[in-house]
Structure 1
Amino acid sequence: MSRVIAPLLLVVLALLPLWLKDPYLLNALIITGIFTLCAMSLNLLLGFTGQLSLGHVAFFGIGAYVSALTALGFDVELPFGLVLVVEPGSPLLGFVLAVLVTALCGYLIGRLAFRVRGAYFVIVTISFAEVVRLVALNWVDLTQGPLALTSIPNMVLPLPGLGETVLRTKMQNYYLVLGMAVVGYLVVAQLVTSRFGRAMRGLQQNESLALSLGINATRTLTVAATLSAAMAGAAGSLYAHYLRIIDPDVFLFSYTVTMVIMVVAGGKGTLAGPLVGGLIFGLLPVALRPVMAPEAQWIVYGGVLIAILFLMPQGIVPALDALTRRLRRARPAKSAPGAVEAGANP
């Protein structure tokens, strides 16, 4: 069932803008797609290694700021009277740098935190996110602090024979986000089905046995953290160039909570889980906004989450898989062709 969900969602989402003309709903789908990409990156850690990162929004925010500052350019005074001047560059270069810088941050945090896993890893990730938020808030010369970075250029896409195309419309950005989500899904799928993915699952299920088989726990988990951070950085870059304005609120803890909800409700450790959870909890507030007050919206949002976790503790996708298997076992076996009842005359 989980193998069918992802291709089916892709077909539906690819055809959706052809008849959906409401720019508000299209905008909601774009933002949902960006956070679903973040949820897929978090699932790589939480679902396939069992490590909970509550500071994942730090990589999302770093990717947004790196990409935006690369495209806008900046000059900032450094210690010893040095001045760093960066001329405005291509948004595509900003995207690449966002992925590389966040991958480096993920590697450094992984090397530090995975030596003391469990609750210590959670504390390190939360602390890292808070430090980065404070830097973005107080380093006004670089980030503009609470005044925000504005007029961030739209993302550009190089097309063979046509040069660079600026993605200004919502439909263009929608397909860009959809394409990046597909790439992220394929990367995660390829990774978790490889030998490296089996090592990650082994560490999650029985670390002592995995270590006895020669699996290097710190190296395996650090590589997973590096790739997870790079995907979150890519999502942050898309976010910055789509909204064209970012401020330190991009590091809000509620964004991390949203990512965790998408992963857990959809089904952690499954490929389709973050997709299903992302669509439900990304679009649910949009569906509730026209019909009820904000306070009631959060009550319904929490109620839906509690109901899912109570009725389907493993998440939606694993529950659908289990239901499919039960239906197959309950299906009555068909008689073999040409079979004759016992005792019947030939």
Structure 2
Amino acid sequence: MNALFAWGFVAALAALPLVFPDPYLLAVLTSAGIFIIGAISLNLLLGYTGQLSLGHVAFFGLGAYASALATLGFDIGIGFGWRVVLAPQPVWLGFLAAIVVAGGFGWLLGRLAFRVRGAYFVIITICFAQVLRMVALNWVELTQGPMALISIPPFSLWWPGQGVVPLYRKDQNYWLVLAVAVLAFLLVRQVVRSRIGRALVALRANEPLARSVGIRVTHYLVIAAVLSAGIAGAAGSLFAHYVRIVDPDVFLFIYTVTMVIMVVTGGKGTLWGPVVGGLVFGLMPDLLRGTAPPEAQWIIYGAAMILFVMFLPRGIVPALARRLP
């Protein structure tokens, strides 16, 4: 029954552009969907390992820049008269590059940061994201700095009756983001139900006990970091090719905060938590835009978040699960 409901929910979302083809609604849902993918990736760390990363936007931004640079191409000097030149590549290769680059940095950060815990880990992740933002801001030859990378090509897909076409339309991008979100959800579900997921939950519950029974703590945490970073990189790639411009603000702290809100209010450590929390808090700012004055919108948003945390401390999904038969 749960699987039937889940696939029915996905089918309803897929049919939404056919029923409500409003471009603004589809744009809002597409943007929310991209950050839901980011929240799904963060939930693998925060929800299943208990490690709070406040620099998760670093992988999102890395994915955006890697995908954009791969598809635009670049020519940079690296010293001693040497230059690195990359011709523009197909967009889907840029998407794969985003996953690989973000996953590689996830491995590197995991190997270094998971030697510490608690506040020290949080500080390392914040600093990591800020360092990348400064690199993007100052490495003008590669990233164009504050002038941003522009004219990023959109994704291209085979479309019935049209062949391979660039995805300029809102409904096309909506379906693409929905497909990637479903794949990310299924991947995380497979991981958390596997031996890796059981090890991660054991580490979250009692790390010394898990270590005493032979679970390799750093090994499994690094696996979670790589998978989480790779999915976040995929979300960053979707963002870059959807808005078609990337600047250093893609590393802003507010994006991490948005993902954390989605995970915590939806229910961390649950598969559906980031999805439900993402739909609620991803759509709320736009829903308030037409019903409340500008100065009151963020007050209502903050008050709603506080109320959710106060009355549903474990999140929306666990609360619904207790009340539903």
Structure-2 change in CA distance of 1:4 and 1:210 (3 Å) = farther
Q: Return the letter of the residue paired with 2:217.
A: A
Q: Return the letter of the residue paired with 2:179.
A: G
Contact 1:6/1:272 (8 A) holds in 2:
no
2:79 corresponding residue in structure 1: 79
Q: Are 1:249 and 2:249 matched, yes or no? A: yes
Q: Return the letter of the residue paired with 2:210.
A: A
- Equivalent position SS for 2:165: strand
Q: Are 1:16 and 2:8 matched, yes or no? A: no
2:166 corresponding residue in structure 1: 166
- Equivalent position SS for 1:78: strand
Distance 1:55 1:191 in 2: 22
How many residue pairs match? The answer is 325
Distance 2:37 2:6 in 1: 13
Deviations 1:98-151 (A, max 9, x none): 100100000000000001122111111101000000000011111111111110
Distance 1:323 1:48 in 2: 23
Superposition deviation, residue 275 in structure 1: 0.3
Distance 2:167 2:48 in 1: 34
Contact 2:68/2:241 (8 A) holds in 1:
yes
Q: CA RMSD in A?
A: 1.7
1:116 corresponding residue in structure 2: 116
Structure-2 change in CA distance of 1:185 and 1:119 (3 Å) = same
Q: Return the letter of the residue paired with 2:176.
A: L
Structure-2 change in CA distance of 1:159 and 1:107 (3 Å) = farther
User: Greater CA deviation, 290-299 or 222-231?
Assistant: 290-299
Distance 1:84 1:7 in 2: 46
Q: Return the letter of the residue paired with 2:63.
A: G
Distance 1:4 1:116 in 2: 42
Superposition deviation, residue 190 in structure 1: 0.4
Distance 2:145 2:64 in 1: 14
Distance 1:51 1:158 in 2: 40
1:306 corresponding residue in structure 2: 306
How is 1:219-298 mapped onto 2 (pairs within 5 angstroms)? 219-298=219-298
- TM-score for the superposition, normalised by structure 2: 0.96
Structure-2 change in CA distance of 1:147 and 1:323 (3 Å) = same
Distance 1:236 1:270 in 2: 23
Structure-2 change in CA distance of 1:58 and 1:5 (3 Å) = farther
Distance 1:198 1:164 in 2: 42
How is 1:92-103 mapped onto 2 (pairs within 5 angstroms)? 92-103=92-103
Deviations 1:75-99 (A, max 9, x none): 1111222111111111111000110
Distance 2:307 2:292 in 1: 20
- Equivalent position SS for 2:149: coil
Q: Return the letter of the residue paired with 1:62.
A: L
Contact 1:5/1:272 (8 A) holds in 2:
no
- Equivalent position SS for 2:245: coil
Deviations 1:161-216 (A, max 9, x none): 98643222111111100000000000000000111100000000011111111000
Q: Are 1:63 and 2:56 matched, yes or no? A: no
Superposition deviation, residue 18 in structure 1: 0.8
Distance 2:77 2:115 in 1: 36
Contact 1:265/1:308 (8 A) holds in 2:
yes
Distance 1:208 1:165 in 2: 54
User: Greater CA deviation, 302-311 or 261-270?
Assistant: 302-311
Instruction: Note the residue ranges of structure 1 that are not aligned, 5 or more in a row.
Output: 329-346
Distance 1:240 1:201 in 2: 33
User: Greater CA deviation, 109-118 or 254-263?
Assistant: 109-118
Distance 1:156 1:316 in 2: 36
Q: Return the letter of the residue paired with 1:34.
A: I
Structure-2 change in CA distance of 1:137 and 1:215 (3 Å) = same
1:196 corresponding residue in structure 2: 196
1:335 corresponding residue in structure 2: none
Q: Return the letter of the residue paired with 1:208.
A: P
1:185 corresponding residue in structure 2: 185
Distance 1:9 1:236 in 2: 25
1:341 corresponding residue in structure 2: none
Contact 1:268/1:315 (8 A) holds in 2:
yes
Contact 1:150/1:244 (8 A) holds in 2:
yes
